[in-house]
Amino acid sequence: MAATLFQKVWDLHAVRKLPNGQTQLYVGLHLVHEVTSPQAFDELNARGWRVRAPERTFATLDHIVPTLSQARPFADGMAETMTSSLERNCREHGIPLFDLASGAQGIVHVIGPELGLTQPGMTITCGDSHTSTHGAFGSLAFGIGTSQVRDVLASQSLAMSPFKIRRIEVNGRLAPHVYAKDVILTIIGRLGVKGGTGFAYEYAGDAIDRMSMDERMTICNMSIEGGARIGYVNPDETTFAYLKGRRFAPQGDAFERACAWWRSLASDRGAAWDDVVRLDAQEVAPTITWGINPGQSVAIDTPLPDPASASDADRAGMKEALQFMGLQPGQRMTGTRIDVAFIGSCTNARLSDLREAARVVAGHRVASHVRALVVPGSQAVRAAAEREGLDDVFRGAGFDWRGAGCSMCLGMNPDKLEGREICASSSNRNFKGRQGSPTGRTLLMSPAMVAAAAVAGEVVDVRQWINPSPKSQA
Amino acid sequence: MTELPRIERIAGPALVMRGNDIDTDRIVPARFLRAVTFEGLEEHLFEDDRREAAGRGATHPFDDVARRHAHVLLVNANFGCGSSREHAPQALLRRGIRAVVGESFAEIFFTNALTIGLPCVTASHADVERLMTIADGSTDAEIAIDLKAGRVSSGSLSADITLPDTARHALVSGTWDATALLLENYSDVEQAAAKLPYLQGF
Ligand code: SF4
């Protein structure tokens, strides 16, 4: 019978039916970081349980790591405490830890794929809502809270109920300087921040098929901003080519056998999706948020909506957002003066993101009133970028070039907004206070748009800012 | 292991937190995640919102001394969206909140709350508004939630609530902390793992 990838992978990992009707689901890969795990390890230890599958568990440091001086002990005492707590827990339970000395440290959703840990057909959990990123490989990957982290550590499984599947087909060609980030912001804008509740999003269509793994990860990453705990793309040759030769990917004959199995997992033609939504890629413009949730966005050349003409349910939220942001209905986002430019996060801090941003920045200077920083998603991204000389491009333009981590995506380390600063950010959340200042303001956009805003000192339409490159003219 | 309480009925005065899409960064700002325990988190519930309210001379619901003993939290739609931080429901529970009634909840928040025995039940927009009006009118008005009957009531108001059967079963049978259940038949877990191509060299 025709089935979706979701159904195939779910059935394969179903251990048994629990008394309450939920499914006990086997977890194939569990990723751990320093912020959501200490209480889980404490409870595990208090109850005298062991980590069941330390060989299926991998840890790294990302949320609290300083990105300037990374010498130990950290100047930030709490960062030091949380780091040593994770180190101790990993040591005691035999969990591999990709720490700062490993050369493989980074944002958990960047290093999983990069190391080849993330593979099609797996169930993947992590105490972090952006675990949906890993679905780009055709895995079922979702964020969990600390008590469920404890469950997975103790039993390598979880109590779960199945999701409905919404297929989101994106067909057609993206215009030059329109990126995966713009596609996902557009999808969330249309379906709403709670439109995906109860759903797994299956992204498909020829525009998704043409995307690189980095781009697919950007899309799946932000599924949760649309309320969908899971987002995935059916695995294909692009997926396999990305995985080939990676450290934890199958090698030699096993890789060939793996590809055959992975191929068989893709949703069958005629599978029963609970809902299908279509988007024309040509309609997507560079997109920017103006509000305090990721669904409050506009195409860069469009005026801001007016709460007066919004639905009753949306009006209060829109008014609150406009007031917090200091924006007016009907105005355009272009020309909004920015104070900070942040290129980073699990959404957009991979090598291809840094390349796109560097193309915009090359030969320019960051505006004198703007603080600009690039925080690569991982040590490996940073090293690869340095081999291409991207660090020189950014530094030469006046950007800070930092160590890998979450940084100003959530402001748990010293990288924060101050006061009411406005930040052009390649991250994924524009919630009030998200970037470390309760009154700080975040504008979400693609890395290329952040780079252009950094140089211009204000929000610009990246299409008008840079001359079309030879690639985009092709 | 000690038996978990069966959670069937929650009753008490309520606290009203109006607004759609209240995210977990607002419930507990990230700087309070700089800790290795959940202790004391209740102090920081809605901290930035509370300061902002105080700054304009208003009283945030979580600063209202008359509501200090509230057991029920009333919210609108998509409460708890965003970050998966369990710190959010942990802080609410530590503050004394024993149930949340709202129009809808973000999924990870809902599950995190359930796993620590904090039921999140949904009611229609109109009923939530009625409950909010009742709570606004009196700090002592008792709101009672009967999970078995699927009803919420206060004074003369009685309305339907919904909760997935799986969650209801877990709460009323005292199995909302699933770890023991998951460890019960561990050989089944091993058998499931043995079928997985990626654990068997493909
Ligand atoms: S980069 Fe931001 S969104 Fe991603 S895991 Fe880190 S804090 Fe979360």
Q: Tell me the per-residue pLDDT of A2-60, one tens digit each, with 9 for 90 and over.
A: 999 999 999 999 999 999 999 999 999 999 999 999 999 999 999 999 999 999 999 99
pLDDT digits (tens, 9 = 90+) for A71-121: 999 999 999 999 999 999 999 999 999 999 999 999 999 999 999 999 999
Q: Residue A218 pLDDT > 70, yes or no?
A: yes
> Which of A119, A155, A225 shows the shortest C-beta gap to B198?
A119
User: What are the distances in angstroms from CA A17 to CA A22, A23, B107, B181, B194?
Assistant: 6, 5, 21, 11, 18
Contact A438 B186 (CB under 8 A): no
Q: Max alpha carbon distance in chain B (Å)?
A: 65
Q: How far apart are CA A250 and CA B201, in angstroms?
A: 8
Residue with tokens 């009531």, as numbered in its chain: B153
**Cβ contacts of A202 within 8 Å, gap of 6 or more:** A4, A5, A6, A165, A166, A167, A168, A231, A232, A233, A234, A267, A273
Judged by a CB distance cut-off of 8 A, whether residue B174 touches chain A is no
Contact B166 A22 (CB under 8 A): yes
Residue with tokens 């109920």, as numbered in its chain: A161
The alpha carbon of A465 and the centre of ligand 1 are apart by a number of angstroms equal to 29
8 A C-beta contact, residue A96 and residue A58 = yes
| Cβ of A114 below 6 Å from ligand 1 | no
Q: Residue A468 pLDDT > 60, yes or no?
A: no
Q: Residue A469 pLDDT > 60, yes or no?
A: no
Per cent of chain A over pLDDT 90 is 97
Q: What stretch of H or E contains A186?
A: helix A180-191
Q: Report how far Cα B189 is from the mean position of its chain's Cα atoms.
A: 30
Environment class of residue B126 by beta-carbon count within 10 Å: exposed (0-12), middle (13-18) or buried (19+)?
exposed
Q: Residue A343 pLDDT > 90, yes or no?
A: yes
- Chain B residues closer than 8 Å to A257 by CB: 197, 202
**Cβ contacts of A303 within 8 Å, gap of 6 or more:** A329, A330, A331, A332
pLDDT digits (tens, 9 = 90+) for B68-119: 999 999 999 999 999 999 999 999 999 999 999 999 999 999 999 999 999 9
**DSSP-derived 3-state class of residue A25:** strand
- Chain A residues closer than 8 Å to B23 by CB: 293, 429, 431
Per-residue pLDDT, averaged over A448-463, amounts to: 97
Rounded to 10 degrees, the C-alpha dihedral A243/A245/A251/A253 comes to 80
Q: Which of A15, A34, A109 to mutate to test the interface with B (most CBs of B within 10 A)?
A: A15
ipTM over 0.90: yes
Q: Residue A322 pLDDT > 80, yes or no?
A: yes
Q: Residue A254 pLDDT > 60, yes or no?
A: yes
The type of residue at B5 is P
pTM of this structure: 0.97
Q: State residue A165 phi and psi, 5-degree precision.
A: -115, 125
Q: Report how far Cα A114 is from the mean position of its chain's Cα atoms.
A: 14
Contact B182 A155 (CB under 8 A): yes
Alpha carbon of B110: minimum distance to chain A alpha carbons (Å): 10
Per-residue pLDDT, averaged over A304-324, amounts to: 95
For residue B183, is it left (φ>0), alpha (ψ between -120 and 50) or beta? alpha
Choosing from A32, A375, A426, A428 the residue with most ligand 1 atoms within 8 A of its CB, the one to mutate for a pocket test is A428
Contact B23 A293 (CB under 8 A): yes
Per-residue pLDDT, averaged over B145-162, amounts to: 97
Alpha carbon of B82: minimum distance to chain A alpha carbons (Å): 7
State the pLDDT at residue A473: 37
| Cβ of A8 below 6 Å from ligand 1 | no
